[in-house]
Amino acid sequence: MGNFDDAPLVLWQGFHHSWTYNHRLNRYGDWIEHLERDGDRVTARVRHSAASGSGADEATWQSFHAALRARGVWTHPVKQPLRLDGREGQLQTVVHEMRVHVPPALRDREVYTVLLNGFDLISEGDADKLASFHLMATPPVWDRDAGDVVFALVAAINVDCDSPECDGYPNLGTYLATVAAGVTLGLNPVASSVLALLPTLVKRLDLTTSYELEVQALIVAGDADMLHVTPATRSRSFAWDKDTAITRPQVGVLRTTIAGDRGGQWKDSVLGLQQISLEVTRKRGVFDSDTAMHYLQWDTCVLPVERTGTEYTADLHLFFRNWMETPSPFLDALDQAVATFRDAGSADVTAGVALLQFAEPIALEHGMRQGRIYWGARNAPADSPLAVESRDLAFEFPLAEPPLDWLPAVLHPLM
């Protein structure tokens, strides 16, 4: 990987993701891998993953990043696989202690922080509907005796499913055949219609869930006269019904300013992510026994608006939706009515951010990559390479004195 001292790096600033109709959570991810960091140059790869449950569809995605270099600031990328196993309808939590033996330049520094550089979440069995997902990196400490930076990765997920395609029913036809058999066998002594049977006969054959989560993180270190870190948390909460579709501009954009240290030595700043959280609640009904729901779109990202050395203004996109009015080109009229699930509900979307201030910045460039992933296999394994799309990045930032007026006062929006 080359020299990790003060070579340039690519910092993850989040994602947009949208299907053309809603699905269970089979695979979902957006992350940055550093391929080489050496001297003045960095090469990296933006990757996005998407796999639906049983229906063919196309995911549209965008990934946001900042490429940067600052004198007296050292970074070290790490990745860690985690497992989230348990029962459906229950929050499964993993707290994994990370002890990273860092290169010499990162040792004995006065300031340490850890940023998320993305994630890849993969179902290892039956894909289920999403109720909540949380991922965060805790504040690090320096263990001088061991020469390690120590922090924790905290991950949690809650998924459930009472829909026909889940847990033992490979398709709607098999599910309806089960219902018919139940009627024939007289399994419902009180119901007056086949519909009343559905909550009983859809009881899952498999009540467990298993997901693999690979986390990318970035350790950042420096001394107090060269680097300052200010954490903050921002959230959006909103609700919707089955009649009026919500949009991101209406409910999912939060303009915020994160202010750091006001000292005059700080010449530039950037905003990274330390936590992403999503909690959704489906409005319960007669045939809606759980609160998890199919997802259509989930966005969590930082879009820069204006920055100085002491504060950073951004539009945070914190958005989720279950349905939209536009028909999917991958479904005919009958499938549109049967295979999509329009639910009323609410969502809480949270981003934990960190403002990094630099005394001697060399370069800082914001950017975005985008693409589309077609997922055509019915219940295909989520770890298929067809579920991942990549974009390569390359930057070269010579270690030279920047001009005094190099910092732009206003940034052009990325979209």
Q: Are 153 and 80 in contact (CB under 8 A)?
A: yes
Higher-confidence position of 339 and 313: 313
Same domain, 309 and 370: yes
Same domain, 260 and 293: yes
Residue 176 belongs to domain spanning: 169-203
**Mean pLDDT within 325-337:** 73
Q: Is the pLDDT of residue 172 over 50?
A: no
- Measured from the Cβ of residue 326, the count of other Cβ atoms closer than 10 Å reads 9
Q: Per residue in 53-97, pLDDT tens? A: 778 899 999 999 999 999 999 999 999 999 998 887 788 899 999
Total domains, the chain? 2
Same domain, 115 and 199: no
Same domain, 181 and 238: no
Q: Per residue in 106-156, pLDDT tens? A: 999 999 999 999 999 998 877 778 889 999 999 999 999 999 999 999 999
Q: DSSP 3-state helix, strand, coil percentages of the chain (rounded to 5)?
A: 10, 55, 35
Same domain, 212 and 199: no
Greatest alpha-carbon pair distance for the chain in Å reads 82
Q: Is the pLDDT of residue 174 over 50?
A: no
Q: How is residue 68 written in tokens?
A: 């940067």
pTM (predicted TM-score)? 0.86
Same domain, 33 and 14: yes
Q: DSSP character for 328?
A: P
Choose among 308, 369, 343, 348: nearest CA to 14: 369
Choose among 161, 165, 158, 171: nearest CA to 121: 158
Q: Are 339 and 55 in contact (CB under 8 A)?
A: yes
Q: Is the pLDDT of residue 242 over 50?
A: yes
First to last CA, the chain: 32
**Mean pLDDT within 209-215:** 92
Same domain, 186 and 333: no
Same domain, 260 and 365: yes
Q: Are 140 and 146 in contact (CB under 8 A)?
A: no
Q: Per residue in 5-36, pLDDT tens? A: 688 999 999 999 999 988 888 999 999 999 99
| pLDDT, position 134 | 95
**Mean pLDDT within 157-175:** 57
Same domain, 196 and 220: no
